[in-house]
A and B are shown apart, each in its own frame.
Chain A
Amino acid sequence: MAEDVLLSDDLLRQLMSVGEVDLLVGMSSHNAANTVSHALDAIEESFQRNFVRQRVVIVNVGGGDKDEDGVEAKGQGNLAEKVRLPGIISLRTSHRVTANISGPPSAGIALRTILAAADLLRARACAVVSPAASNLTPDSVANLLRPIYREKFDFVAPLYTRNRYQGLLARNLLYPMSRALFGCGIRELFSDEWGFSGRLAALCLNQDVWHEEAIQARPEAWMGISAISSDFRCCQAFLGEKSQATKGLATDIVEVLRQTVGTLFWCLEARQSWWLDCGKSQPVPTFGPAHELTSDPTDLDRHRIFEMFRSGVTELEPILSSILDPETHSEIKSIVSLEEGKFRFKSDLWVRTLYDFAASYHHAVINRDHLVQALAPLYRGMTYSFLVEHSDSSPAEMEAASEMLCGEFELQKPYLMERWKAKVEVKS
């Protein structure tokens, strides 16, 4: 029986025509037929303005897609239609490669195809962008590629301007936890756009992890963590305002937790030999301005968030008791009983809670997917507490609080290490 191959004959033929490249930009255009044309033009313009001498290619996975009305996306085909810019003439032929994949490709399959193309074409600098992102501009593409191509970094994570109440999961969990454990202060490990070197692409492509659910959902975080834990050079680049979530992407908190926290915990599992030995976190070079917070007003139902926290913690008590340390669980039960106005989810408790979850994930005390889902009410509690505490805070104050939270994660790392290495007890 023939072995399954990743690259179809048609894709391989297209890659043969392209030959070696300096820059590669990949994207998954499944369900994005409306926006893929704009994305291709933005990338082309970026190439022509910023990388006029370089050999370039765009890899479009899931291309030839149709939108809801069955209209095929434009701008496909091997040789790029000329994006004529006033005063700009590109020196070289720009290629567009289309990889048609049967069925909806997961993020993991799309990335693996892009990595394979990058490896075969010996691309020096690569980027993945989302065609659905409203903030995709020629400059943002260049900002992802430049640090790799010119400054020889291996991984570029994006930085954004955000509303101060946006991205709380990243700010209160993903960023401080990954920073404390992996020793690298990358803010946006989970994003739709990032850059990486050909070297990193080859490393990730050759790892036997592509069947894992965590990789299928959020491969970019795994790539970033692979870069960190393999001593590759990482940095961040400012890309402007964070794109709004678009239709089809997960906004449901449980699904988001599955994709992000689930992936983070899986990475902890996979890289435990590295992070258990890792020292204090180091700052990460940043290109462009640091991330910014805006104070645009938002309409949030805090009461509902609190109620969901309280009812969730109460209803899930049997499950939480098997995940959390008894002391942590007892503290949580005590704050659950507080009145809404007096409720605060202190940082040290939050950190211990997360570390308990991480250790329990490692020991598989319950089904791992259930474990991640059980975090949702607690996350809501933390969110409510954050909203109340920072209702009048300035962006600078919020940033200071974020730094303190990062410090708390680092301070309690020994606690996690101890629980991680302990023998699991049977809890009935």
Chain B
Amino acid sequence: MRQTILRGLEQVYGNLVHMIAEFLPRFLVMLIIIVIGLLVALALKYILRALLGLTKLDRVSDDAGASRVLRMAHLPPMTELLSRSIFWVTWIGFILVGLSVLRVAGLQEQISRLFQFLPEVFVAILILFLGAVIANFLSRTALLAAVNAGHPSPKILSWSIRFVIWILAISMTLEELGVARQTVISAFSIIFGASMLGLAIAFGLGGQDLARKCLERYLGDTKKKEDKEPQPL
């Protein structure tokens, strides 16, 4: 019995050593891949930073209002953000590749699934971000135009536009992630259609006089405005 146990222990020990001996090279390769990945990611980050600097992306981002959004979220400027993003994406990619080299059971499959899901996550984040930027920009544009034109309730108009764009952006994000696709599409269609219908009814039926006055004012204002304000130049 003692010998059986000893033999068993020897065998297990041997298996363990064998496993470690088999694992170590893969582990080393994983480390090498991770280190190479770090270097490649760094190189890509600096190259992208330089290229984006030439295209003056930060300036465009300022004009589009994206920089402000970033600042509000305590994020770095666009060029730096994209450079860092590319760094992390590249390095995480290499890490995942390195992990897959370990051949841990089940891990490869999860990694594979993650890899497949990553582009969608990336696109979803991008859609949300763009949606935020566009909503911000267009709502502010509408607000300014409405205020300067003397229209009543400019804030309502501005918020409506922001609301619509956000709804659209969220719906597209969820659809991209594949979360309750049908439900989201239907809900969006209903909400959007109902909002538009409601606005039309409210304006056309409930606000006939207002509608008429607005039209008259719009057609009359264009001339009156020129007459009643001093010529600026």
Closest chain A residue, CB of each to CB of B149: A254
Contact B65 A367 (CB under 8 A): yes
Consensus secondary structure, chain B interface: helix
Contact B65 A316 (CB under 8 A): no
Q: Which of B59, B150, B231 makes the CB contact (< 8 A) with A251? A: B231
Indicate if A4 sits at the interface (CB-CB under 8 A): no
Contact A312 B229 (CB under 8 A): no
Query: From residue A38, how far is it (CB to closest CB) to chain B in Å?
Result: 22
Which of A106-114, A201-209, A273-281, A293-301 faces chain B?
A: A293-301
Closest chain A residue, CB of each to CB of B59: A364
Contact B72 A428 (CB under 8 A): yes
Indicate if A13 sits at the interface (CB-CB under 8 A): no
Interface size on B, residues (CB 8 A): 32
From B67, B141, B148, B224, name the one whose CB has the most chain A CB atoms within 10 angstroms: B148
Closest chain A residue, CB of each to CB of B72: A428
Whole-angstrom CA separation of A238 from B72 in the bound complex: 51
Indicate if B2 sits at the interface (CB-CB under 8 A): no
Whole-angstrom CA separation of A380 from B71 in the bound complex: 31
Consensus secondary structure, chain A interface: helix
Q: Which residues of B from 50 to 84 have beta carbons under 8 Å from A? A: 59, 62-65, 67-68, 71-72, 74
Whole-angstrom CA separation of A84 from B140 in the bound complex: 58
Indicate if A373 sits at the interface (CB-CB under 8 A): yes
Q: Which residues of A from 161 to 176 have beta carbons under 8 Å from B? A: 165-170
Whole-angstrom CA separation of A365 from B232 in the bound complex: 27
Contact B233 A256 (CB under 8 A): yes
Contact B148 A169 (CB under 8 A): no
Indicate if A9 sits at the interface (CB-CB under 8 A): no
Whole-angstrom CA separation of A300 from B230 in the bound complex: 7
Contact A312 B230 (CB under 8 A): no
Indicate if A308 sits at the interface (CB-CB under 8 A): yes
Query: From residue A301, how far is it (CB to closest CB) to chain B in Å?
Result: 4
From B59, B137, B140, name the one whose CB has the most chain A CB atoms within 10 angstroms: B140
Contact B148 A254 (CB under 8 A): yes
Q: Which of A304, A319, A374 makes the CB contact (< 8 A) with B228? A: A304
Contact A377 B148 (CB under 8 A): yes
Whole-angstrom CA separation of A167 from B72 in the bound complex: 40
Contact A374 B229 (CB under 8 A): no
A353 proximity list for chain B (CB < 8 A): none
Whole-angstrom CA separation of A308 from B149 in the bound complex: 9
Q: Which of A166, A252, A319, A368 makes the CB contact (< 8 A) with B230? A: A166
Whole-angstrom CA separation of A167 from B141 in the bound complex: 27
Q: Which of A260, A307, A368 makes the CB contact (< 8 A) with B233? A: A260
Given A252-B225, A315-B154, residue A298 in contact with residue B144 (CB < 8 A): no
Indicate if B147 sits at the interface (CB-CB under 8 A): yes
Indicate if B216 sits at the interface (CB-CB under 8 A): no
Indicate if A351 sits at the interface (CB-CB under 8 A): no
Contact B63 A383 (CB under 8 A): no
Contact B229 A253 (CB under 8 A): yes
From B67, B150, B224, B233, name the one whose CB has the most chain A CB atoms within 10 angstroms: B233
Indicate if A387 sits at the interface (CB-CB under 8 A): yes
Indicate if A101 sits at the interface (CB-CB under 8 A): no
Given A316-B143, A316-B144, residue A367 in contact with residue B137 (CB < 8 A): yes
Contact B233 A169 (CB under 8 A): yes
A245 proximity list for chain B (CB < 8 A): 231, 233
**A residues bordering B, Cβ < 8 Å?**
165-170, 190-191, 245, 251-254, 256-257, 260, 298-301, 304-305, 307-308, 311-312, 315-316, 319, 322, 364-370, 373-374, 376-377, 379-380, 383, 387, 426, 428
14 additional A-B pairs beyond A366-B65, A426-B72, A428-B72, beta carbons within 8 Å, are A165-B230, A169-B232, A245-B231, A245-B233, A254-B145, A260-B233, A300-B229, A308-B150, A315-B154, A316-B143, A366-B140, A367-B62, A379-B232, A383-B229
The 7 closest A-B pairs by CB, nearest first: A169-B232, A301-B228, A364-B62, A426-B71, A373-B144, A165-B230, A376-B148
